[in-house]
Amino acid sequence: MLGTTKRCMECNRFRPVEEFMRRWDQPEGEEVTVCIICNVAKDIAADRAKERLSAQEPAKKACTKCKETKALTEFNRRAKADDGLQTWCRACTTEASRDYVKRRKAKENRSLGQKKRWERECAEGTVSGEAFLKALDTPDPVNSPDHYRTGGIECIDAMVQVFGDEAVRTYARINAFKYIWRHQYKGKPEEDLAKAAWYTRFANGDDPRKEVAK
CB distance 162 to 196 below 8 Å: no
Interacting positions 46-85 with Zn ion (CB under 5 A): 63, 65-66
Cβ nearer to Zn ion, comparing 39 with 200: 39
At 16 the three-state DSSP class reads strand
Of 20, 75, 86, 92, which one interacts with Zn ion (CB under 5 A)? Answer: 92
Nearest to 60 by CA among 45, 70, 74: 70
Of 20, 75, 86, 89, which one interacts with Zn ion (CB under 5 A)? Answer: 89
Number of Cβ within a 10 Å radius of residue 175: 22
Q: Does 38 bind Zn ion (CB under 5 A)?
A: yes
Residues written for the chain: 214
CB of 49 to Zn ion, least distance (A): 19
CB of 15 to Zn ion, least distance (A): 7
Q: Does 10 bind Zn ion (CB under 5 A)?
A: yes
CB distance 200 to 192 below 8 Å: no
Q: Which residues bind Zn ion (CB under 5 A)?
A: 8, 10-11, 35, 38, 63, 65-66, 89, 92
